[in-house]
Structure 1
């Protein structure tokens, strides 16, 4: 059986396109996507990385220009399953369905895989990033991209953190969200005890009076390190900082006291990565 079936599309109200409707409604998507067990992959590049990670498409929505790329990605057989419907429509039709100009002319509705346990995610990991209650999907995506670039072994997100598989987060990460093992903690800051049980030293990135410089941490890093980054504006919760083993600050000049959270992730993971490689 072929891996996909091309379906010409002319009607934006086609009931088969329910997965793609009103994608600009953040409040709806943040609840709707996990509940239905799906997420949206935008662009053929992101779809390629999702497929490489073993994720399965429910359907694909594509403009004619990008159809050859999608056909190449979906080529082969469906291994006994039903072929993936590939809905093909002009850009104006796609925009009428989704409510925005579709980046690079392709969207895919993907089956959301079950999240692994914390223990499985951290098996063999030595460098871990924890994102506490980050509410901006762009920041989550940028942080995931930084983690992939700096060789972070795994990422944990707290129960209230934005979804790394939200459409914008995936797009900003350039699909690297599929490269870095990640999962969601069941409780926080209770999850710090779980990290301790797994042998991690937990460092909070915060501007406390008793904080140590990132340079000091990088000069003598622990064998297994989890760094925790807080939400935009307020930073880490006080109870989180109290439960961590150390509080770390990034040395800065020019009267700047803090960085965007994704920038802080990039700086801190670069510093500890370099120190780790030199051991």
Structure 2
């Protein structure tokens, strides 16, 4: 039997996990800390991936459909419900899709574990925009990447907006942090990739860059595609230490694409063909 609890006061202590946690607290990246998942589809993917829920919060009209999604699982986890106007009182949490879940961060694989059987991985360097990170994960999962490695200065893929924009693919494609802090990228991060047999390709607007459809890139058995932040792009040190520098050929005088759009093009072009 589901534990349905009606909330009439948006300041009720039961809602503290949704209303009182600061952005900084929700950005904690340690196993066992909490993250917020939003929308039935995203929550469903998180549950299928084995994420443990602490509680659910939703509009009353969402309850019946959500109970079908749970299918009898997690009967001991409270489901807090309220009318839309009550939930609107939760600062910073406009429920555009009707439901939230507070969940415990799962353990992530080690870098070597993730890469052991991978042929194509995406590496994200200092991408701090949550929307871009979520969109890149969605493309990586859909277009043939075997995993995503996130450098320590990137936005947390489990940040609420990243999770939502990814449509839950952060729970479907293997990913992990490439180092504990900024001192571990580009080295020894690139050295770890090389030791595992990866050739690295930096995406950058350089005169000596080769097009992404160059036969030599497609011929690589193991390839790590390194994407940089919107605007500044990859650091010069990163580009200098990668095996290749590549670019998406452009038309009409356009110099580049948004990093998330560029990622989708790259992943499709460089996916394993066999």
> Smaller-chain TM-score range?
over 0.9
Q: Deviations along 1:204-257, whole A, 9 cap, x unmatched?
A: 000112111111057643000100000111000011111111101111111111
- SS of 1:263 mapped into structure 2: helix
- SS of 2:126 mapped into structure 1: coil
Name the CA distance, whole Å, in 2 between partners of 1:98 and 1:75: 31
Q: Is the 8 A contact 1:221 1:272 kept in 2?
A: no
Residue 218 to residue 74, structure 1, CA distance change in 2 (3 Å):
farther
Which residue of 117, 129, 154 corresponds with 1:124? 117
Which residue of 193, 196, 199 corresponds with 2:197? 199
- SS of 1:11 mapped into structure 2: coil
Is the counterpart of residue 229 in structure 1 residue 222 in structure 2?
A: no
Normalising to structure 2: TM-score of the pair?
A: 0.92
Alignment partner, residue 69 of structure 1: 65
Q: Deviations along 1:111-135, whole A, 9 cap, x unmatched?
A: 1112221011122110100010101
Residue 220 to residue 141, structure 1, CA distance change in 2 (3 Å):
closer
Moved more, 169-178 or 98-107: 98-107
Name the CA distance, whole Å, in 1 between partners of 2:112 and 2:217: 28
Name the CA distance, whole Å, in 1 between partners of 2:16 and 2:116: 38
Name the CA distance, whole Å, in 1 between partners of 2:85 and 2:31: 29
Q: Is the 8 A contact 2:203 2:228 kept in 1?
A: yes
Name the CA distance, whole Å, in 2 between partners of 1:144 and 1:134: 12
* Gapped regions of structure 1 (runs ≥ 5): none
- SS of 1:40 mapped into structure 2: strand
Is the counterpart of residue 188 in structure 1 residue 185 in structure 2?
A: yes
Is the counterpart of residue 242 in structure 1 residue 240 in structure 2?
A: yes
Q: Deviations along 1:35-84, whole A, 9 cap, x unmatched?
A: 87111010111111111111111100011111112212223255xxx810
- Please, what is the CA RMSD of the aligned residues? 1.9
Name the CA distance, whole Å, in 1 between partners of 2:207 and 2:51: 45
Considering fraction of residues, name the structure with more helix: 1
Q: Is the 8 A contact 1:241 1:247 kept in 2?
A: yes
Name the CA distance, whole Å, in 1 between partners of 2:81 and 2:254: 49
Is the counterpart of residue 108 in structure 1 residue 101 in structure 2?
A: yes
- SS of 1:140 mapped into structure 2: helix
Name the CA distance, whole Å, in 1 between partners of 2:146 and 2:215: 18
- SS of 1:180 mapped into structure 2: coil
Q: Is the 8 A contact 1:218 1:272 kept in 2?
A: no
Q: Is the 8 A contact 1:206 1:236 kept in 2?
A: yes
Residue 77 to residue 139, structure 1, CA distance change in 2 (3 Å):
closer
Which residue of 131, 149, 153 corresponds with 2:142? 149
Name the CA distance, whole Å, in 1 between partners of 2:32 and 2:11: 20
Runs of 4+ in 1 over 2 A off after TM superposition: 25-31, 33-36, 73-78, 98-101, 217-221
Alignment partner, residue 161 of structure 1: 154
* Gapped regions of structure 2 (runs ≥ 5): none
Is the counterpart of residue 39 in structure 1 residue 46 in structure 2?
A: no
